Each structure stands twice: as structure tokens, then as C-alpha cells.
Amino acid sequence: MKKIGIIGLGNMGEAILKALLNANYKTEDIVFYEIKKERAKYIEELYRIRCLDSYGDLIRESGYIIVAVKPQDARQTLTGIAPLIDEKKVIISVMAGIKISNILSVTDRPIKVIRAMPNICAKVGEAATGIAAGKGIEEAELKDAREIFSCLGSVIEVGEELMDAVTALGGSGPAFFLFFLEAMIDAGVKMGIPREKSKAMSIQVIKGTIKMLEEEDVHPSILREMVTSPGGTTITGLTHLEKKAFKGSIITAIEKAAKRAGELSSWL
Ligand SMILES: NC(=O)c1ccc[n+]([C@@H]2O[C@H](COP(=O)([O-])OP(=O)(O)OC[C@H]3O[C@@H](n4cnc5c(N)ncnc54)[C@H](OP(=O)(O)O)[C@@H]3O)[C@@H](O)[C@H]2O)c1
């Protein structure tokens, strides 16, 4: 595989780096460029990989250039690297909401771009990463991108038109889910269960449910029906959720997040 260069070693850049090293990529096959000198020194010392002095150095050494800066820094970063990219290099952008066409509008000529959208669960090797290939990407390059992001968790390939939906579902998904978990914990507390016990119980309920879902390999509604006995406690609670349009609220929240992801491209 071609050498990997990472631009921007913040939260996501570091999560990617860590996952690659855990998956036995060699320190000499990864380089990076980070604008904050102190941060660069910290990363160099912790992971023993080299921070290069300029975009030029990074692009000369790398075949895959992972751009992991904030969307608001996209224009400055892409303007800096665009003149240095040739047809052998592949840009892999993890920037939320930034479309391949936005990137090409800055570079002003055809270059190879792959969009990838991992989520924060990359930190524990359980990310759900959506990837979409731009024009001219060869099968071997897409395979390498899949391999890179499979170090972070699972990889789901989609057309670029679905990347905003992937950003909402995968990127914001953990926050929505945690919000639900918070509500479960608070419900326990409201009924008198001490907070720590309510938290431990709620987390175990979710862990157990996910494990069962994976082992049974069925649609969630099948498992849900199994615990919904006639005239019982579960159907009583579910009826309230239905009255409050629980499912509809979640669907709308994720759709709204996707719409917002689409708006982020205006930063470029
Ligand atoms: N965090 C997530 O869970 C997540 C998930 C999916 C996708 N992403 C995407 O990943 C990207 C990075 O997010 P993050 O949370 O890692 O942000 P972050 O922690 O702010 O990291 C970005 C890093 O890049 C540096 N930087 C800015 N401009 C640069 C440049 N021109 N050259 C080199 N380094 C530069 C920043 O320095 P300064 O602080 O000085 O600007 C910062 O250290 C974003 O586009 C985001 O949409 C993040």
C-alpha cells in the first residue's frame, strides 16, 4: 500500500492514526502535518511518527492524503495542497459535509478523492464508516481505503449522494443514542434507583439487547415483540411512546441532522 499522510491530528486524525498503528501499520509508513506545534510534538513523541514541515513534504512522501481538519479550515488546507497533487495521489477527506465537488472546485482540476465518514467510536475500534469514491478512483485504491477504515471498525460503501445521511446516522448517531440512555438512567433515578445502579443497569440492558440482536440476526421488531406480552408492562410503556411519536421524532431528528450536514459544505 502507498504511504499514508494525515493532515490535522486532532480528535479524528489521532483516532485514525491510533487505529492504523494498532492494526500493525508501520510507523515509517505514516507521516502527518499538524498546524499546532505543541500538538505535533505530542503526537510525534507518543506515536513515534514524523510530523513533516510542509504540505509539500507530506504530499511528496504520501500516496493517500487523509484530510482531517475542521470543515471551516477546508478551504485554506485544500488551497495549500491542491497545486501539489498529481494523478497518482488520492485525497481521502473525512470532513463532515464537504462534498467531492466542493473539493474539486478548490483544486480546479480533476484529482482523485474519496470521502469517508467515520464516527467517534473509532476510538474503541467500533466505528461505522461510510465511504464514497469520486471519479477516477481505481478498484485497488478503494480497496486500500476500505482497509484503512476497517482498522477503525466496520465500513459501509455508499454513493456520494448518501453521505449526508451517513453523516447523520453514523456521525451523530452516538449522541442520539446517548441521549436515550440518559433518559433511561434518569427514569431509574426518578423511581428511586440510585444513579450509579440505574446507569449500570441501563448500560447492561443495552449491551444485552445488542448482543442478542447480533446472535439472533433478526430485525429489532421481532425481538421487541418477544418481550411485549399481551396486557403487560412493555406494551403499556410502548403505547405512551407511540402517542408521543417516538419513532417519528427520531426519524425527523436524523433527517434534520442530514440536512445540516448538507449545509456544512457552504464553509468551503
Ligand atoms: N470528531 C469526530 O467524531 C469526527 C467524526 C467524523 C468526521 N470528523 C471530521 O474530522 C475532521 C476533524 O475533526 P476533529 O474533531 O478531529 O477536529 P479537531 O480536533 O479540531 O482537529 C483538527 C486539527 O487540525 C488542525 N488544523 C487546522 N487547520 C490545519 C491545517 N491547515 N493543516 C494542518 N492542521 C490543521 C487543528 O488545529 P487548530 O485547532 O489550531 O485549528 C486541529 O489540531 C472534521 O472535518 C470533522 O468533520 C470528525
111-132 tens-digit pLDDT: 999 999 999 999 899 999 999 9
Given ligand 1 and candidates 59, 70, 114, which is best to mutate, with the most ligand atoms within 8 Å of its CB? 70
**Amino acid found at 118:** P
19-61 pLDDT tens trace: 999 998 999 999 999 999 999 999 999 999 999 999 999 999 9
In a domain, 268, yes or no: no
For position 267, what pLDDT does the model report? 65
Are 80 and 137 members of one domain? yes
Are 114 and 180 members of one domain? no
For position 41, what pLDDT does the model report? 97
Site of grid cell 461510510: 130
pLDDT band at 264 (very low <50, low <70, confident <90, very high): confident
Are 83 and 197 members of one domain? no
Whether the per-residue pLDDT at 265 is higher than 80: the answer is no
Task: Give residue 71 CA to ligand 1 midpoint distance, Å.
Answer: 8
In a domain, 54, yes or no: yes
Given ligand 1 and candidates 52, 69, 77, 166, which is best to mutate, with the most ligand atoms within 8 Å of its CB? 69
Are 16 and 115 members of one domain? yes
Q: Kindly state the average pLDDT of the residues 122-145.
A: 95
Q: Which three cell numbers stand for residue 52?
A: 513533516
Are 221 and 130 members of one domain? no
Mean pLDDT rounded to a whole number for the chain: 95
Are 185 and 146 members of one domain? no
Task: Give residue 70 CA to ligand 1 midpoint distance, Å.
Answer: 4
In a domain, 227, yes or no: yes
Residue nearest to atom 45 of ligand 1 (CA): 95
Total domains in the fold of the chain: 2
For position 200, what pLDDT does the model report? 98
For position 128, what pLDDT does the model report? 96
Q: Which three cell numbers stand for residue 165?
A: 445521511
Residue nearest to atom 26 of ligand 1 (CA): 8
| pLDDT > 90 fraction of the chain, expressed in percent and rounded | 89
Whether the per-residue pLDDT at 155 is higher than 90: the answer is yes
pLDDT band at 107 (very low <50, low <70, confident <90, very high): confident
**CA 10 to ligand 1: nearest atom:** 21
Are 8 and 62 members of one domain? yes
Task: Give residue 187 CA to ligand 1 midpoint distance, Å.
Answer: 36
Here the CATH number for the domain that contains residue 238 is 1.10.3730.10
- In a 13 Å sphere around the CA of 172, the CA atoms on its Cβ side amount to 21
Given ligand 1 and candidates 6, 7, 9, 12, which is best to mutate, with the most ligand atoms within 8 Å of its CB? 12
Q: Kindly state the average pLDDT of the residues 187-206.
A: 98
Three-state SS for the chain is: CCCEEEECCCHHHHHHHHHHHHCCCCHHHEEEECCCHHHHHHHHHHHCCEECCCHHHHHHHCCEEEECCCHHHHHHHHHHHHHHCCCCCEEEECCCCCCHHHHHHHHCCCCEEEEEECCHHHHHCCEEEEEEECCCCCHHHHHHHHHHHHCCEEEEECCHHHHHHHHHHHHCHHHHHHHHHHHHHHHHHHCCCCHHHHHHHHHHHHHHHHHHHHHHCCCHHHHHHHCCCCCCHHHHHHHHHHHCCHHHHHHHHHHHHHHHHHHHHHHC
Q: What is the pTM of this model?
A: 0.89
Q: Kindly state the average pLDDT of the residues 209-236.
A: 96
Whether the per-residue pLDDT at 220 is higher than 70: the answer is yes
Residue 225 domain boundaries: 173-263
Q: Which three cell numbers stand for residue 85?
A: 497533487
Given ligand 1 and candidates 35, 79, 102, 114, which is best to mutate, with the most ligand atoms within 8 Å of its CB? 35
In a domain, 168, yes or no: no
Give dist(CA 86, CA 110) in Å, integer: 9
Task: Give residue 14 CA to ligand 1 midpoint distance, Å.
Answer: 10
Are 115 and 197 members of one domain? no
For position 99, what pLDDT does the model report? 93
Whether the per-residue pLDDT at 102 is higher than 80: the answer is yes
Task: Give residue 95 CA to ligand 1 midpoint distance, Å.
Answer: 8
Whether the per-residue pLDDT at 178 is higher than 70: the answer is yes
